[in-house]
Amino acid sequence: MKDLGKRLAGIGEDLSHIDAILITHEHSDHVAGLPVLARNKNVHAVIYMTRLTAPSIDWGDAPPRRLETFQAGSSFPIGDIEVESFSVPHDARDPVGFCFEAEGVRIGVATDLGYIPESIKFHLRRTDLLLLEANHDLDMLKVGPYPWSVKQRVVSRVGHLSNLSMSDFLCQDLDSSTAFLVLGHLSEQNNHPEIVRLMATQALDGRGLHTNLAIAEQRRPSEVFRF
Using CB under 5 A, list all residues that contact Zn ion.
27, 29, 112
- For the beta carbon of residue 84, count every other beta carbon within 10 angstroms: 17
Which residue, 205 or 217, is less far from Zn ion as judged by CB?
A: 217
Which residue, 92 or 200, is less far from Zn ion as judged by CB?
A: 92
Which residue, 156 or 201, is less far from Zn ion as judged by CB?
A: 156
CB of 131 to Zn ion, least distance (A): 12
C-alpha torsion sign, points 148, 149, 155, 160:
negative
Q: E strands within 103-173?
A: 105-110, 129-133
CB of 227 to Zn ion, least distance (A): 26
Q: E strands within the chain?
A: 20-22, 46-50, 67-70, 75-78, 81-87, 96-102, 105-110, 129-133, 180-184, 212-215
What is the C-alpha separation between 142 and 147, in angstroms, rounded? Answer: 10
Which residue, 29 or 80, is less far from Zn ion as judged by CB?
A: 29
CB of 29 to Zn ion, least distance (A): 4
Whose CB is nearest to Zn ion? 27
Cα-Cα end-to-end distance for the chain: 28
CB of 222 to Zn ion, least distance (A): 16
Which residue, 101 or 159, is less far from Zn ion as judged by CB?
A: 159
CB of 42 to Zn ion, least distance (A): 27
What is the C-alpha separation between 120 and 212, in angstroms, rounded? Answer: 22
